[in-house]
Chains A and B, each alone.
Chain A
Amino acid sequence: MKQIHPGKGPHTSLLIIFLLAIAAFLFMLDLVTGPVEIPFRLVFTTLLHPGSVDPVWKQVMFDFRIPKALTAVVAGSALAVSGLQMQTVFRNPLAGPDVLGISSGAGLGVALVVLGFGRIFSGGEMLYISGWIQIAAAWAGAAVVLFLVMAVSLRVRDIMTILILGILFGSAVSAVVSILQYFSEQAMLKTYVIWTMGSLGSLTNVQLNVLLVSIVTGFIISVLSLKRMNILLTGETYARSLGLNQKSSRILIFLSTSILTGSVTAFCGPIGFVGIAVPHLARLLFRSADHKVLFPGSILLGAIMLLISDLVSQMPPQDTHLPVNAVTALLGIPIVMWIIFKNQRLVSVS
């Protein structure tokens, strides 16, 4: 006999279908939007029979818009999941890849490669490799910060202290980066500054494939740790008494987080506030703390948030568009502020 258990109501699946529909709609909308006008009814024709339409449309669609929209979906969902994981591991609603200095770490990695050792790898035929080196540097940077934060969190129990240390670490990284900037050449400087503004549209198809593979890897590790994350919510003592191996759980979750955040940051630049804000939206919509619900929820909402950000960034007329990092900040900050005001007992939540 199947009974309906509390918390497993039918609204969860309905909500997921609804969010999927919204994401699909925004994805299509993103394909239609852009400086080159392609009529809405011809978008499908272009997609299904690329040979029968204007070759310019075909090129715009397959070389620019589809990779960009896909990047938005992949990056948004990856950042949202890594935010969810950080909030669970640190048991803090304000944890997220950017607040804990993980994005800064990835940024430092990229800065060291682009600004510091850039001249070594900037040979024309090395471009393909330099993409890999860039992603490796961002991964390494994210991982180093993550493990530093983890080491500190084992010693310092107070979560607020850890957050403040994360913010301080971010400032220290900016200082190092500005020294690097001071000594670097104009062209490299520009490359780095543009990278920091965040961009969804600068990925080649090869890079997009690399990103996709990394994110799928990160998600697989994340799915493997869903049960562990549910247990970790109850805190160290209960987690241990429930038979959880905390060390391996943390390593697994931190590995997934640094793959997700590191890859997205490497290819798209530091995109802020998706990681903090989206998991809260997921909790709010699904009214659940179960990661088996929050994981798909965050993926969908993260994709939706970054698709919206991409659409907003294209609102200025003609060829110009806003840096996506600025848009996510403007969208995300009100959500985070709302979290703080709504939930004043931040410390007691942990």
Chain B
Amino acid sequence: MDHKNKKNIIDLKELMIGYRTQHTRTSFAYGPINLSIRSGDMIALIGRNGIGKSSLLRTIAQLQNPLGGNVRLFGKESDRYGRRELAQIISFVSTEIVSIQNLKVYDLISLGRAPYTNWLGKLMDHDHSGIQSALDKVKIPHLGAKFMHQLSDGERQKVMIARALAQDTPVIILDEPTAFLDLPSRYEVLRLLNELSIREGKTILFSTHDLDIAIHEADIIWLMISEGITEGAPEDLLFKKQFHKLFLNSCLEYDQQSDGFRLQKGSQKSIGLKGTEESVHFTGKALRRIGFQVDGTNKGIGRIEIVSEGGKIVWILDTGAEKQVFQSIYELTDYLKYNCK
């Protein structure tokens, strides 16, 4: 797509988000935010708990009023749209799990057609085909006749995404779509969103705590910290070491070697490691986990060599004083943990 032709679909102008409650006199405010979303972008909103990610998403989706500034959709202030009009532009997937007795998946997804159907909600043929194609796009065509309470959390989240697809909006906003899901389902859901943004040209904005997955699947990351939102491609932010801001006062850091985030351990001892590429990868991972810095050379407390002895792989630890042989990574780390403090 021509870079210049991509239009701004959403503009946040001096947007202040938050809430005020007179009752408890608590208030929360964040901003001002000046950002734009272009058509077809897939944006991951990342920030720590309580920073206001949900408030931001809900404010953009017009589920919550801004404290100041405004949100513009296609250049027009969003509060100048009617409810129904708005429901045809932005669909929302919340963290709420909809589990209603006797509610069929098909019927739930059909509610996505509500902004288009008549006063009785009668589904026409094109509504039915919209629902069917939404089921197909999230790859759950077999679940249509099932009841919501029969599904797993992962399937349920896909149904909620299908419902948003049935709503047929250019923009889909999702609040923590990967919460409550197991690891494979998290990958699957974000993979799915990525496909939707590429194939269907959907503009997708979602919040998540799954940094590792987000940096692999999102086009753009909005890094929300108390000083403001930093925007950029995941690689830009990694390159400029922006994620450190997120992890201030915490032990997380990005590990280039393993392309992921991991906990930083207190004191670092170094150890040498040698072997095949695969064996070094996994052994190194385990050693880093228990607080060692891994090096190719013989350094620090000693050196580990991974060798194949008659088809069997063993780990030989040479501390200079003595040599020890281990049959598994577990045995090795277990020994190091208690003997090399």
User: Closest chain B residue to A224 by CB distance?
Assistant: B119
Is B92 on the interface with A (CB-CB < 8 A)? Answer: yes
- Does residue B243 face the partner (Cβ distance < 8 Å to A)? no
List, in ascending order, chain B residues with CB within 8 A of A286's CB. 102
Chain B: number of interface residues, binned into ranges: 35 or more
Contact B107 A7 (CB under 8 A): yes
Chain A stretch 315-350: residues in CB contact (< 8 A) with chain B: 343, 348-349
A241 touches which one: B61, B108, B120, B121 (CB < 8 A)? B61
Residues of A within 8 A of B102 (CB): 283-284, 286-289
Q: A243, B86: Cβ atoms under 8 Å?
A: yes
The answer for the CA separation of A224 and B117 in the assembled complex, in Å, is: 14
Q: Which residues of B contact A55 (CB under 8 A)?
A: none
Question: Residue B288 at the A interface, CB < 8 A?
Answer: no
Report B104 CB to chain A, min CB distance, Å. 4
Q: Is the CB of A226 within 8 A of B120?
A: yes
A283 to B101, CA, bound (A): 8
Cα A284 to Cα B88 in complex, Å, equals 34
Instruction: Select one of A1, A234, A237, A284 contacting B63, CB under 8 A.
Output: A237
Given A227-B114, A227-B120, are A242 and B87 also a contact pair (CB < 8 Å)?
Answer: yes
A242 touches B114 (CB 8 A): yes
User: Chain A 287-304, CB within 8 Å of chain B: the 1/0 string?
Assistant: 111101000000000000
Secondary structure of the B contact surface, majority rule = loop
Tell me whether B121 and A288 are in contact (CB under 8 A). no
Q: Does A40 lie at the interface of the complex (its beta carbon under 8 Å from any beta carbon of B)?
A: no
| B119→A233 contact, CB < 8 A | no
The answer to whether A241 touches B145, judged by C-beta atoms less than 8 angstroms apart, is no
Are A238's CB and B92's CB within 8 A?
yes
Within residues 281 to 315 of chain B, which ones have a CB less than 8 A from any CB in chain A?
A: none
The 8 A CB mask of B211-254 against A (1 = contact, 0 = none) is 00000000000000000000000000000000000000000000
Residue of A nearest to B148 (CB): A289
Contact call A235/B98, Cβ cutoff below 8 A: yes
Would you give the shortest CB distance from B142 to chain A, in whole angstroms? 11
Q: Tell me if B92 and A349 are in contact (CB < 8 A).
A: no
Q: Which of B85-136 contact A (CB under 8 A)?
A: 85-88, 90-92, 94, 96, 98-108, 111-112, 114-115, 117, 119-121, 123, 125, 128
A residues 1-58 touching B (CB-CB < 8 Å): 1, 3, 5-7
B residues less than 8 Å from A226 (CB atoms): 120-121
Instruction: Check A235/B96 contact, CB under 8 A, given A7-B107, A243-B83, A245-B83.
Output: yes
Chain A contact residue count (CB 8 A cutoff): 35
Assess A237 versus B94: contact at CB under 8 Å? Given A6-B106, A242-B115: yes
A260 contacts chain B at the CB level, 8 A cutoff: no
Return chain B residues, CB-CB under 8 Å to A238: 92, 94, 96, 98, 111
Given contacts A237-B63, A241-B61, contact A349 B87 (CB under 8 A): no
| Residue B3 interfacial (CB < 8 Å) | no
Within 8 Å of chain A (Cβ to Cβ): is B144?
Answer: yes
Question: Does A244 lie within 8 Å of B114, measured CB to CB?
Answer: yes
Decide yes or no whether B25 CB sits under 8 A from chain A: no
Distance, CA A243 to CA B117, complexed state (A): 12
Partner of B83 from A6, A244, A284 at Cβ < 8 Å: A244
B111 touches A230 (CB 8 A): yes
Known: A238-B94, A241-B91, A349-B100. A231 touches B111 (CB 8 A): yes
Instruction: Determine whether the beta carbon of B104 is less than 8 Å from that of A241.
Output: no
Question: Given the known A-B contacts A230-B121, A238-B92, are A289 and B83 also in contact in the complex, defined by CB atoms under 8 Å?
Answer: no
Q: Closest B-chain residue to A234, C-beta based?
A: B98
The reply on B84 being an interface residue by CB < 8 A is: yes
Chain A residues whose CB sits within 8 angstroms of the CB of B62 once the complex forms: 240
B105 CB to closest chain A CB, in angstroms? 8
Option from A289, A292, A343 in Cβ contact (under 8 Å) with B120: A292
**CB atoms of A237 and B114 under 8 A apart:** no
- Which residues of chain A are near B87, meaning CB under 8 Å? 241-243
Would you call B107 and A288 a contact (CB within 8 A)? yes
Complex Cα spacing A93 to B100, Å: 10
- Whether A242 lies near B119 (C-beta < 8 A) is no
Give every chain A residue within 8 A of B78 (Cβ-Cβ). none
A343 to B63, CA, bound (A): 32
Any A CB within 8 A of the CB of B59: no
Interface residues of B (CB under 8 A from A): 58, 61-63, 82-88, 90-92, 94, 96, 98-108, 111-112, 114-115, 117, 119-121, 123, 125, 128, 144-145, 167
Listed in ascending order, the chain A residues whose CB lies under 8 Å from chain B are 1, 3, 5-7, 91, 93, 223-224, 226-227, 230-231, 233-235, 237-238, 240-245, 283-284, 286-290, 292, 343, 348-349
Can you list 23 A-B pairs with a CB-CB distance of less than 8 A? A5-B128, A6-B104, A7-B107, A7-B145, A227-B117, A227-B120, A227-B121, A231-B114, A234-B111, A237-B58, A238-B94, A238-B96, A241-B61, A242-B115, A243-B82, A243-B83, A243-B86, A283-B102, A289-B104, A289-B107, A290-B107, A292-B121, A349-B100
Additional 4 contacts, C-beta under 8 A, given A235-B98, A288-B104 = A231-B111, A233-B103, A286-B102, A349-B100
